Structure formats: C-alpha cells, structure tokens
Structure 1
C-alpha cells in the first residue's frame, strides 16, 4: 500500500466508471438539484403575483412561449445534468472576475463544468430569442386576423343609430370631475384614485373613485376607506356621495394587502388589464374587475386571441367572487354596471383593419380595400376610445368611431357599439357618405364661436358621440383652461355640421331626447353673427382689413349704407363672402 503511486491512487478514487461520477454521487447531485428547484418554486409561489405577467405570457404569448418557456427548459436540463468531465481544472471565479474586461470575457474564461453549462445556457437563450422574433411576427398578424374575423362574425349591422339615454348625458368631463371633486373633499391619510365610469343606484352615470391610502407608510398600514361617486350628468347641483367602509383588500394597498395581489393569488391564469369599477349597492361599496383570458389556435400557425373571462367582485370584508360571464350578468349586485373588459373592446376594434386579410393591410403591397382604423383624437380631446355612453333602457355601451385607412382621412366610415354588459357588437356603416369625425367636430365647435379666446382662456374637450333620433352628434364640452367648470355644451351634427350650443342641464336632456326640433334650435352665436348664416357682409377699413362680419340668414335682405349715405339694397342675391 505504501508503494502505490499517485496515479494508482487517483485511478482507484475515480471508481469503476472510468472517471465519471458513480451512482451514489449522481443520487446526491440529483437530490441537491431537486432541493434547489424546490426552493425556487416555493419562493415563486409565495411571490407569484409579482411574476404573473411573465408566467401568463409564457402560457399565452407565442413569442414569449418560445423564449421564456425554452429558456426555462434549457436551464432545468443543464441544472439537472451531471457535471461535465472537461479534463481541465476549474479556475477560481474570483480570479476570472478580476482579470476579465467584460461579461463575455467571463464566459470565455470560465473553465470546467459550471462554465461550460453557463456558456451552453447563454447560447440557448440567444437561439430562443431569435426564434421568438420569427414566431411573433406571423403569430401577431394571425391574432389580429382571427380576432377581426370573430368580431365581424358576431356583429350585427344596423340601419339607424341606437337612441341615447337622455337622462344620462355625459356633461362633466373627467378632468373637470377630477379637479372639482378633489377640491371638495378633505382626507389626511387618503386620496382619490383613478376615476372611472359607474352607474349610481338611482340609475345615473357617475365618475367613481377609490378612497385609497396616500403615502408610503399609509399604503403599508391603512386600508382603502370606501368609494366616492360624483354625478357626470349635470353641470349644476352636482352631488358627491361617499360610501365609507374599510376594504380588507383594496386599491393603493401594498403587496399582500392589495386587491390586485389577492385577485391573482385566487385566480392566477387570467389577466386583470382593466381598472376597477367602483360603485355601491344597497349603500355598500364594491369593486368589480373585468377579466381577460386567451385561447390557442393551432392553424394555420400557432397563435392566441383574447376572450372575455368573466370578472371578480371584491367585497369590503375581503371576499372575492370570481364570476363567469354568465354569472356576472346574473349577479344582482352588478346589475347595470360595466362588465365587459374595455381593453378587450379596444383590442377587437383595433383588429378590424385585418378583416379583409393580412395582405390587404400591408404598407407596400396591400390594396387597403375596405380597411378601417380607429379614428384619431387630438391631444386636447382629453379622452380615448372606446367612449362610454348610456343608451335607452340604461344600457351602457362602448362606442368606437372608425375612419377609412389613410394618413389624411378624418371622416367616419363606421360607428361600432359594444354592449358593456354582454359584449355584443352592432355597427352602423355610412355607405357612400362620410360623417364628421371627432377631430373635425372640435374644429367646427371652435370656429363657430370666434369671440372665445380658445387655448388661452377656454378649451373644447372630451368629444363624445350621442345618437339622437337616428342621427349622430358629437357632444363637446367647453371648459376654462384650469378645468374648474363646464361653461356650455356644444353639439355638432356629424352629417350636416350644424352646431348647437346649450347652457342648461334640462335643455341638454330635452335635446338628447329629441323633444326639440332641429329647426327650432338656436345655433351658436359667432360674436356679431350666427353659424346659420348663408353669407357674410364684410366691412373693411382703408387698409382692406376686415373689421366686421355681418351675417345674412336665409330670406333676410340687407341694406348697405355708403360713405355718402347712398343706400344700396340687396335682396339676398349677393355672393357669399368669408
């Protein structure tokens, strides 16, 4: 034994496997690696809401499925593989880090089994990244195409616009509601959250807010205090109603105390993209979160499309009811509220550009036949599509105005209505006619009143489509630039461009109800004239600058007095000016 050479002793220590690990060492290796995976899975489970977006993407996003799923599998395979017999001694990691100039050098310098595995993993991640891009492009286009086909198949075309609910006009814009409401309440440890649209118990529409903790310390300790709703259907005598009750899980509460955390721990495989709908029922506050799911389509290429997955009803005591679409519609507490995800409606409307095929909408080779897109809104519009309005019978609807494809097109081609309770679609096609879009309607509202100092003292804001007696009107509000009030409501007819100004709440309701005939309405005054003039008489100074515009309405004659008091009569046949 004493005469054994070092080489003999080394050979004996390697076992009968010829230098590889024996069965006992393999078992120890597998056990330790399994323990490591178990610890990682346990940590993931305890913090799973933090990783919800990534996990859901791996399950339902083809590109992330390839990249994320492939990377995870590669990591697990390399983690469980026995150590590689490289024949090289491992260099100390500290020395490698000190001598390397970049992370790439670290990978190149690492020797032995860990370094080789790490290099293989980085290579695999790079391959999966390239594959994910190659998969995402066709999968994304097919998602839009399939979603557009499904939306069109389930939609019903109508010949006339559905009538708006005259009792629930959107008179108060969001920004005005936010500023005036926050200026009317006083909380030391709480603040009002993001505003949203909900139905009050009396049936009217309101801006609703969560009364949530304010400040880091309070988000850790305090609870959501309830919900607040403020009427959006009146300029005067607006009511603010507060339903105070501490929520066990609510908005503005951190980590495991938040509604978001508990929604994801109680129903993980779904998405909560929409803001909460805060409302009251029988005097008690509630919150409802619409849920969006996805489904796979394997042909002609694997892709997914979003679907309505029901909703979650959060009670103040911490109970969360996860409801299917059918259960949500039949839940008495949710009667009259918005149930369908607005983000899903936005995705479905955005996909309609693909309804005539993928090639049709491509930039260079596409014919763009029948292609439509969501109408663009100027930045000062201060709202986004889809618009939320109330139709007759207290049926909330998401309305989306669509314009023809093209950089210079602003007229409307179609108007789509999504039932906010069922998600059912109806749409109105303009045919050969083109209706005025929201951007042009805002311009008409400004040009109809030249006395107002637009942009300096007042702005037109929040165009909302309103359907009256089968016609589409754009309901626009005029507010001071500090958004502390609504000075008047302006209605612009999307077909004729006729513009009407209304300053009274009841008059707004009568107009939307169609109780006042169009020809009996007074149009907007334009300083010295009206928007109903067929032409203007222009009065100029000696330099030729216009100093006065005198409107002449249908059937009205004019008398022009010259400098020598010579009267020239005009029987209404003069050519229009201005």
Structure 2
C-alpha cells in the first residue's frame, strides 16, 4: 500500500520554519471563500453569462469544452501548490509537462511559479477538450438535424393547393421603405426608433412596428423606452403611422443592464433562449412586447444530442410585469390574439434541417446520393428580405412561408413551399411533384425584364419578393422602388408556374389582384387603382408575357372597366375577357 501525504512538504502541518506556505485547511478555506465570492458575482450578473451557461447545458460540444474547462479550473484552483512537485500523485503529469528538470519534491515553489505551472496544465487540458469537443460535435450536430427533420416531417401536412392569401393585408411597403419614411416623419430628441418587426394592429392589418428606445449612452442609462410606433405595411397611398408614446416601459429595449427587457427575461427564466426580436404591438391602446422562447431537449440515443423546441414566450407589460407563458398559455392569451407567437428563428432552423430528411448519409458531400434533398431557395443581392417570409393568409392567420429548391448549385426552381402557422407552429407544405416553379431570384429577373425602359440599378430597383397565393396559384409579389427607398412606385406579380408578370399601381389594385377580382376600376383616391397608366390614361394595368428565358414576348394592356379574369390555362394564366 502506498501512503500519500497531502500535507505540505517540510514536515509540519502548520506554518513552521520548514513550511513553504499555509496549512492545507487554511489553504482550502481561503480558496473556498474566493470561489463563493466569484459565484456570488456571477449570480448577480447572470444575464451576462447566459449564452455561456446555456450552451454548456444544451450543447454536447460546449458541454465537453466549457464544462470540462470549468471543472479543470476548479480542480486547479483548489490544488495545493506543493502537489506540483514530482514526488506527488501528479508526478506523471508534471514529468510530461516540465520534463526531468521539473520541481523537486522538497524544493519550495513560489507563487508565480505555481500560477505558471497551473496555467500550463490548464492549457494542455483545454487543448485536449477542444479536440474532443470537435469529435463529439460532428455526430451530435448531424443527429440534431436528423431528429429535427424527422419531427418536422412527422408533424407536417401536405396540401393539394396553395392556401389563399389575405387580400386585405398585402405586404405593400418593404422594410427599407418603411424604415426611411417612418424615421423621416418622427422627431425624438432623446429617443430613436429601434429595429422594425411585423405585428398585427388592432384593426387586423399588418404593420411594421418599432420600439421608441433611448438614444445615446446617457439616455440608455437613465431614460426609458417610450412605448412603440406602428406603421401600416399594407398601403402606400394613404399610409398611417401611429405612435403610442405616452406610456414608458419599466424594462425596455435599448436600456442598459438591469433596466433592459433582455436582462429581466434572462434573470426570470434562465433556461430559455430569446433569439427572435421582440414583437411590438398594442392592445386597447396599451403598448406591449412579446419575446418568443426557444428551448432544447436532450436525446441520448443513438448518440447524445439536443433538439430545439418552442418554449412559449414572455409578454412584457409597460409597468414591468413579465408573464412567462407556455405555448398553450400564449395561444389562449387575449392580449396576444392574432400576433406572431412561434419563433421565426426556430422555423428557419427546422426548414433548414429538411435536407436531412432522407438520412444523414444522403446529404454528405462525396458519398451522398442527395435523393429528395431540398434547401432554402437563395435570394439575390438587393432582395432586402430573407426567408421565412411573413405573410397573412385568409382568416387573418399569419404564416411563415419558405420556398425550397432542389439541392444543387444550378437549381433555382422551387420544389416545395412550406407554411408554418405563426401562432401554433403547425406545418403544412405544397409539393410541386415533377413540375418546377419559378423561384424568387428568377422572378426578380422577370420583373426587371418586364419593363426594359426603366433604368434599373441607377434610378429604380426591384426588391422584397414575397410569395402570395391567388386562386390556388403561387405568385411572387415584387416591389419597384427608387434607389433611395423613399416610395413604392408599383408592384409586379410574377406567376411562379408560367413566368407571366402583371404590373400594378395603387393599393386597391393589389388587393383586387390577390382577391382574384380584377375589373380595372379606378381607386378611390383618383389614381389608376390597379393600373400603370397615369392621369388621363385608359390603361388600368399591363399583363406581361415572357418566354422560358424571361424575354418579353407580349404586353397586354387592360383598360379601365374591362372585365378580366385570371384562369389557369396551361402555358398562359392571364386571359382578358371583353
């Protein structure tokens, strides 16, 4: 039997003449006190370390790396300095790190030398943990995507036709146009408008919503968020912007440290992630903010990994009250009725995982067959939005729409279109089978080619393609704006099946087109409601017909009062009726 002396070298347990340092109980006591002080500071400032702790708890690779690093640091922190000699239980490690010229068992070790040797031990262990985290992270990440794809497919319902878009709530005003025009119409000396997001107004229409948050370091430290501002996104002709700035938020956006909503959310519910921007909205004239939550659950087989899931949301009241709601509670909450509840970032993660639905090997770069593999359709530079798109369907049901294309560098046509209910997270999808639909990148090219006389890029740009469904057909609604994004001059609808394009001016014309009721009637404001003709023109709108290469082969001018129906007729979907 080998006896190990854990006391300090020098023959005594106290601080005698031969002792290089304090006794073991005293050493461990001071170290414990120091650790408790650090833990107290970490606890009081725990929102600052939220990402670090959450990753360690719900990521296998982070658990190995950060968890192992924390344990190693604690062991070294409580390790007596005289245990770093060669005649100790750590002798093999000391010899490996320092060689034969390492410290002798009876040689005193200074504080600086002890710190350097502990740091070297930590660096070596950290390197081993880093390599191990990569080894663990590769299968865990692949299994996470596979499990997520299986869950998404098992809960999804395939549709026979596209769900009808809500003609009362078309996305007419792009985010860039709204940001420029809205910020140019308000005046706050100590506040500014924060990032825009999509919310439902009390009248049921959709709007770009903004937090009115403090501006500048001094104001972020002392001032409060002044409510929210909503700007209608469904009309450009008579656009309404309303500021609900009479009520301040106790905990808001753009406020420092414990005064911020983000700090309080993490303080009151630490085991959740808040990846989405807040949804700012009003109810009975009172401003609110809703933060969707994402949580993770562990799966141990066939290899330990985690899968993200919806964890409900947090409803922030102006007076500082924070309601942490489960998914069911959020859906039943009257204040949140009609708002977006499901995390948009989680939706993107779930649809991205669909490339793994046929298995992990199937999507590998070299050995994978890529059978049935799909990926999110790419958007060209200047699109000014990203997938999933937020659209309103019939019955005022907001949905996250994602256009998916077949795997491959040269594949730009749509293979499937996925819809996620913004309130419940329920998935439905439409498969094109053997027929390939036009994707957003191609649709923007068709919109530009529909008017060769416009100086594209210099004076005007096409922007923000959004999928809308009209009488069971998928169309891309694209906006034409000047390069300074101060206005929307017209909307161009491109049929995803045939590539035909329809140019429409005026809000009324957009609504009538989406409703499938196009009669060329002038709008109430005196402009050509759904037309491209100016004052005195008889043209209500133009149907642009292109070939497979996007070249314009015909332009059909439809006059005001002319009855026109859009029907599905194979190669042509627009048939004017006298």
Report the TM-score, using the length of structure 2 for normalisation: 0.83
SS in 1 for 2:23: helix
Rate the CA distance shift 1:506–1:517 in 2: closer, same or farther, 3 A. closer
Q: Equivalents in 2 of 1:64, 1:470: separation in Å?
A: 46
Q: Indicate the residue corresponding to 2:27 in structure 1.
A: 29
Shift of 1:14: 6.0
Is the alpha carbon distance of 1:436 and 1:551 closer, same or farther for their aligned partners in structure 2, counting shifts above 3 Å? Answer: closer
Partner of 2:400: 398
Go from structure 1 to structure 2 and tell me whether the alpha carbon gap of 1:148 and 1:13 turns closer, same or farther (over 3 Å shift). Answer: closer
2:120 matches 1:127? no
1:255 pairs with 2:257: yes
Distance 2:492 2:503 in 1: 5
2:66 is aligned, of 58, 68, 73, to 68
Q: For residue 30 of structure 1, report the CA deviation from its aligned partner.
A: 1.9
User: Aligned partners of 1:369, 1:128: CA distance in 2, in Å?
Assistant: 36
Give the secondary-structure state (helix, strand or coil) at the position aligned to 1:270: coil
SS of match in other structure, 1:462: strand
Cα deviation for residue 553 of structure 1 reads 7.7
- Residue of structure 1 equivalent to 2:303: 301
Verify the 8 A CA contact 1:524 1:531 in the aligned structure 2: no
Q: Following TM superposition, by how much is the alpha carbon of 1:304 offset from its aligned partner in structure 2, in angstroms?
A: 0.7
**Could you tell me how far apart the structure 1 residues matched to 2:519 and 2:371 are?**
39
The match for 2:496 is: 494
Match of 1:332 among 316, 334, 345: 334
Q: In the aligned structure 1, how far is the partner of 2:23 from the partner of 2:40?
A: 26
Moved over 4 A (4+): 10-17, 19-22, 85-88, 108-113, 521-526, 549-554
Aligned match of 1:476 in 450, 475, 478? 478
Aligned to 2:427: 425
1:451 Cα deviation from its structure 2 partner = 1.1
Superposed CA RMSD in Å reads 2.8
Larger Rg, first or second structure (1 or 2): 1
SS of aligned partner of 1:124: helix
Aligned to 2:158: 157
Q: Secondary structure at the residue paired with 1:446?
A: helix
Residue matched to 2:278: 276
Q: Is the 8 A contact 1:499 1:524 kept in 2?
A: no
CA–CA distance in 2 between the matches of 1:314 and 1:265?
A: 14
Contact 2:499 2:546 survives alignment (8 Å): no
The match for 1:59 among 57, 60, 63 is 57
Whole-angstrom distance in 2 between the partners of 1:263 and 1:14: 50
C-alpha separation between the residues in 2 aligned to 1:208 and 1:16?
Answer: 68
Match of 2:40 among 39, 42, 57: 42
Report the 3-state secondary structure (helix = DSSP H, G, I; strand = E; otherwise coil) of the residue aligned with 2:379. Answer: coil
Deviation at 1:531, TM superposition (A): 2.8
Q: 1:84 aligns to what SS in structure 2?
A: helix
Shift of 1:398: 0.1
1:349-401 CA distances to partner (integer Å, 9 max, x unpaired)? 11110100111111111110000000000011100000000001100000000
2:6: which partner in 1?
A: none
Which residue matches 1:463?
Answer: 465
Which secondary structure state, in structure 1, belongs to the residue aligned with residue 82 of structure 2?
coil
Work out the CA distance in 2 between the residues paired with 1:147 and 1:552: 46
Could you give the per-residue CA deviations for residues 311-366 of structure 1, whole angstroms, max 9, x where no partner exists? 00000001100000000000000000000000000100111101001111111111
Counterpart Cα distance in 1 of 2:509 and 2:133? 58
Return the offset for 1:294: 0.4
Aligned partner (choices 531, 551, 559) of residue 544 of structure 2: 531
**Match of 1:313?**
315
Work out whether residues 230 and 242 of structure 2, in 8 Å CA contact, stay in contact via their aligned partners in 1: yes
2:174 corresponds in structure 1 to 173
Q: Which residue does 1:565 correspond to in 2?
A: none
| Aligned positions, number | 508
Structural mapping, 1:138-287, within 5 Å: 138-244=139-245, 245-287=247-289
Structure 1 gap ranges (5+):
1-9, 89-107, 536-548, 555-578
- Counterpart contact for 1:534–1:553, Cα < 8 Å: no
Q: Is the 8 A contact 2:292 2:314 kept in 1?
A: yes
Q: Is the 8 A contact 1:381 1:463 kept in 2?
A: yes
Structure 2: how far apart are the matches of 1:165 and 1:511? 11
Shift of 1:80: 1.8
Distance 1:505 1:87, change over 3 A: closer
Cα deviations by residue, 1:292-316 (Å, 9 ceiling, x for unpaired): 0001111111111110000000000
Report the Cα distance in structure 2 between the residues aligned to 1:297 and 1:402, rounded to whole angstroms: 28
Gaps of 5+ in 2: 1-8, 87-108, 521-528, 534-538, 558-578
Query: In the TM superposition, what whole-angstrom CA distance separates every residue of 1:528-575 from its partner, at most 9, and x where no partner exists?
Result: x9734899xxxxxxxxxxxxx996989xxxxxxxxxxxxxxxxxxxxx
Q: Secondary structure at the match of 2:423?
A: coil
Look up the SS of the partner of 1:177 in the other structure.
helix
Residue by residue, what CA displacement relative to the aligned partner does 1:144-195 show, whole Å, maximum 9, x if unpaired? Answer: 1111111000100010000111100000000000000011111111100000
Deviation at 1:74, TM superposition (A): 1.1
Residue 228 of structure 1 aligns to a residue in which SS? strand
How far is 1:20 from its partner? Answer: 8.9
8 Å Cα contact 2:505-2:530 kept in structure 1: no
CA distance in 2, matches of 1:534, 1:490: 17
Q: Are residues 530 and 146 of structure 1, via their aligned partners in 2, closer, same or farther at CA, if it must alter by over 3 Å?
A: closer
Secondary structure class of the residue paired with 1:460: strand
Q: Distance in 2 between matches of 1:532 and 1:16?
A: 95
Q: Deviations over 1:472-503 (max 9, x none)?
A: 00000010110000101110110011111111
